[in-house]
Amino acid sequence: MTRKIKIGNVVIGGGEKIAVQSMTNTKTSDIDATVAQLRLLQDAGCDIARCSVPDRESAEALRSIVAQCDMPIVADIHFDYRLAVAAADAGAAKIRINPGNIGDLAKVDYLAKYLKERGVPIRIGVNGGSLEKKFAHLPLDDAMVESALEHVALLEKCGFEDTVISVKSSDVATTVSAYRKLSQRCDYPLHVGVTEAGVYEKGLVKSAIGIGALLLDGIGDTIRVSLTDDPVREIHAANEILKALDLYRGAYAEVVSCPTCARTCIDVQGIATAMQEFAAGLDCKLKIAVMGCVVNGIGESKDSDVGVAGGKGKSVIFRKGEIVRTVANEDILGALKSEVLACVHERQDQLGALR
Ligand code: SF4
């Protein structure tokens, strides 16, 4: 079990909810654009967001950004400890910086003490593509682990242990191996992700495999799906990964649907897509099935709370594998929605009776 660390109003580690992260791609100095993107991220389910702080103007902009956003903001700093101090002073809830890159123990010590006094943690972020030369003789996974632990040791030397670590590579197997090894060597919370994963589908698949494998091992306290895309899509993807592993905290309705085949009698794709949009607004744990035929559909999804199985001209609506109605195919969507709503109301009544 990792230790707990507080990042603003979010606690990570020690079995807490796995926090979902993303990063803005606006200029941080453009306060309005950055705040607008942060709000979209938060609305999508982001727990913690990172902003690059390449210069003093960006560090200053953080003050206004943090004041307008109730999600913890992480300042991403390269090398310059003075920017890290300025970002923390402006209200950043965490600083991403590699202390070994600051270049002087006295500066590291100053920063560590400054952040410790203010309860601001540090994330050490080791990337496979930018490792110190001294680790070049090691396999990449080992090199990332050794590099991360050296940064950690530097902070510990300065009495700082409020640390989160990431060891990301663009190669999935290397990333997974590095995190597995690192998790055996320390109890600091781990920020997990595959870096430079690529454009949407490619990045999504690599992230789902890498992050998913680690989460199944019980490794990972915060996650980021890195996509060359709108950061809001990173949040949707991260939450889908958590849902697929039953690690998502919160009630939601899930739509499952068959892949369709020659037996398909109804527009499975159209109905499933419409139901997905409908289900997105439901604050209730529910499984809804859209299946193309009655031959396999009902049996294969008998664990679903509500479902439809297509037939010629008429289809059946079922609950937990039991047929409750037969409807004309053109009426499926309306019938399915009303059956789902009836199910939601029954759940609410059951919950009300328990209170
Ligand atoms: S549920 Fe029926 S239509 Fe859908 S894939 Fe299976 S057999 Fe084909």
Dump pLDDT digits (tens) for 264-285: 999 999 999 999 999 988 888 9
Mean pLDDT for the chain?
Answer: 95
Name the residue with the closest Cα to ligand 1, atom 2: 293
Among the listed residues 95, 7, 19, the one whose alpha carbon sits nearest the alpha carbon of residue 52: 95
- Please state the rounded mean pLDDT for residues 15-23: 97
Q: For CATH 3.20.20.20, list the domain ranges present in the chain.
A: 5-244
Which tens digits make up the pLDDT trace of 301-342?
A: 899 999 999 999 999 999 999 999 999 999 999 999 999 999
Distance CA 204, CA 249 (A): 21
By most ligand atoms within 8 Å of CB, the mutation choice from 256, 257, 258 for ligand 1 is 258
Tell how far the Cα of 257 is from the centroid of ligand 1, in angstroms.
9
Whole-angstrom distance, CA of residue 306 vs CA of residue 107? 61
Mutate to test the pocket of ligand 1, among 257, 265, 295, 318 (most ligand atoms within 8 A of CB): 295
Residue 250: predicted pLDDT: 85
Q: Whose CA is nearest to atom 6 of ligand 1?
A: 296
CB 292 less than 6 A from any atom of ligand 1: yes
- Ligand 1 neighbourhood includes 263 CB (under 6 angstroms): yes
CA distance 158 to 51: 26
Distance in angstroms (rounded) separating the CA atoms of residues 18 and 296: 36
* Any atom of ligand 1 within 6 Å of the Cβ of 258: yes
Ligand 1 lined by 297 (C-beta under 6 Å): yes
Query: What spacing in Å lies between the alpha carbon of 287 and ligand 1's midpoint?
Result: 18
Q: Is 279 in the pocket of ligand 1 (CB under 6 A)?
A: no
CATH of span 5-244:
3.20.20.20
CB 303: neighbour CB atoms within 10 A? 11
Is 205 near ligand 1, meaning CB less than 6 Å away?
A: no
Q: What is the pLDDT of residue 317?
A: 97
Instruction: Please state the rounded mean pLDDT for residues 144-173.
Output: 97
Rg (CA), the chain: 24
Residue 137 CA: distances (Å) to CA of 98, 140, 143, 146, 232:
21, 9, 8, 12, 38
Average pLDDT over residues 53-74: 97
Residue 288 in contact with residue 256, Cβ under 8 Å?
yes
- Residue ranges matching CATH 3.30.413.10 in the chain: 253-354
Give the residue, by CA position, lying nearest to ligand 1 atom 8. Answer: 261
Query: Which CATH superfamily is 253-354 part of?
Result: Sulfite Reductase Hemoprotein, domain 1 (3.30.413.10)
Beta partners for residue 308, in sequence order = 290, 317
pLDDT-derived band of residue 87, with 50, 70 and 90 as boundaries?
very high
Q: Above 90 in pLDDT, residue 353?
A: no
Helices (H) and strands (E) in the chain, counts: 11, 15
